[in-house]
Structure 1
């Protein structure tokens, strides 16, 4: 750990707090979460504010994320080839299924929806892009986790299982069985696990090395998705097969 700069690391930790926190935070709360003195937090905030990574609300005197982060995030997406590559396929899948379609990527032990196209229906389910969530928590992320080595699965699940609805998985063993089923089927299908009344189905996107590069998921209200489950699943699987082949995957 000696090769890390503590000031840079603490700055990164401070910024990441805002991922799962209210829009604005004060020095006292940040000091408590970082377990640093208020003086040290003040210096971090002043430095980050000078570079545009943090902004202070003049009325509340609290802090929020700065616009430089938005510029960097957009740059990451712009340079992320898989987002551009997936766009026409995702748009086509939305056109054929009339439901929300998302592209999901793994980031260490989390998952992120990096892009989406919403359903054209006025009553629809939607998601927030660019937020990270556990790899076991959604149909799209479980597909990513299912194709990882068992040792990695155990590492992710050892951090604890969060439940979201009365129908969520509650143990690592339950999730491990579900992951095995995903690998056997080649796709995931679930209802009510993350949101009651919502059904999602997801399938893996393979690259030229045979690794899972991402997952594609179709999500919508259960009362609309379930009656046309088979048709939506056919469209999803056809789409990921085409995408995988375009990336050079040969089963």
Structure 2
């Protein structure tokens, strides 16, 4: 029989329940979510401080249900895209991605650059739509990739255009292994982004890339997503679109997305 306890948290007034089997499954999923190359069962049991017997059946069921898989080349378990697929069935994200795809396809063909759409979730940005450039030379971000809130174009936009209460929650949930804000410099960045209405910074993750992004707002006036272009210049002079045209087009597409979400631009 599954053990269940009923305790009351004095600080929140909420009751807390224990479901050990479910907690083990969630621990497994959360652990593997941070491991791109996966982990073998010995590494998993060591990280979670559990025995093979405690986790073997849990791994087997998660694999049967399609949440995890083992690599053909080794015995490592890794997450599939099933959880990402489930999260995109959530109505606000599904609504956003349904009309974002054709707009971003149009944008990438006009400016000959890749683009991606980032939403906030649990202390990080998450790429929910990605469109490659039609150019033969491509730089793009993987669909489902995570973006730190600090030192990224999308992170600055998501923080700058959130209200103070939401911003505080977002900052408090930044993972321990992600960069933390320097208060004075951070506030200066947010003020600059709000004043100019966009963010444009040299990428902290990739050399030779300039990230340009604009906010997408929902019907309440809150930022729903950040539309970002990792702009790359060509050394041979074959670049047919300059940054001014990029700004003009990405701003226009971001505003069109906002209108479709009910925001009065």
TM norm structure 1 = 0.83
**2:215 aligns to what?**
204
> Could you tell which deviates more after superposition, 123-132 or 78-87?
78-87
**Shift of residue 56, structure 1, vs aligned partner:** 4.2
Matched residue SS, 2:204 = coil
Root mean square deviation of aligned Cα: 2.9
Gaps of 5+ in 1: 163-168
Contact 1:104 1:113 in 2 (8 A): yes
More helix by share: 1
Q: 1:23 & 1:119 partners in 2: Cα distance?
A: 27
**Is the CA contact (8 Å cut-off) linking 1:161 and 1:171 kept in structure 2?**
no
**Contact 2:216-2:226 within 8 A present in 1 as well:** yes
SS in 1 for 2:88: helix
Deviations 1:119-156 (A, max 9, x none): 12222211111122322242123211212224235424
> Is contact 1:161-1:170 (8 Å) kept?
no
Q: How does 1:73-112 map to 2 (within 5 A)?
A: 73-74=84-85, 76-77=87-88, 80-112=94-126
Greater gyration radius:
2
Contact 1:197 1:223 in 2 (8 A): no
How far apart in 1 are the matches of 2:228 and 2:28? Answer: 32
> Which residue number corresponds to residue 252 of structure 2?
238
Aligned position for 2:19? 5
Distance 1:123 1:57, change over 3 A: closer
**TM-score of the pair, normalised by structure 2:** 0.79
Indicate conservation of the 8 Å contact 1:147/1:183, yes or no. yes
Match of 1:141 among 152, 155, 162: 155
How far residue 159 of structure 1 moved from its aligned partner, in angstroms, is: 4.0
> What SS is found at the alignment partner of 2:125?
strand
Instruction: Identify if the C-alpha distance between structure 1 residues 58 and 70 changes in structure 2 by more than 3 Å, giving closer, same or farther.
Output: closer
Asked if 2 retains the 8 angstrom alpha-carbon contact of 1:191 and 1:222, the reply is no
Work out the CA distance in 2 between the residues paired with 1:188 and 1:145: 11
SS in structure 1 at match of 2:126 = strand
Residue 59 (structure 2) aligned to one of 29, 45, 53: 45
CA contact (8 A) 2:113 2:134 kept: yes
Number of residue equivalences: 242
Measured in 1, the distance between the counterparts of 2:175 and 2:122 equals 15
Which secondary structure does the structure 2 equivalent of 1:2 belong to? Answer: strand
- Distance in 2, matches of 1:140 and 1:62, equals 32
> Among 136, 155, 179, which residue is 2:172 paired with?
155
Residues of 2 paired with 1:59 and 1:221: CA distance?
35
Is the Cα contact below 8 Å between 2:214 and 2:250 reproduced in 1?
A: yes
Output the CA distance in 2 between the equivalents of 1:156 and 1:231.
36
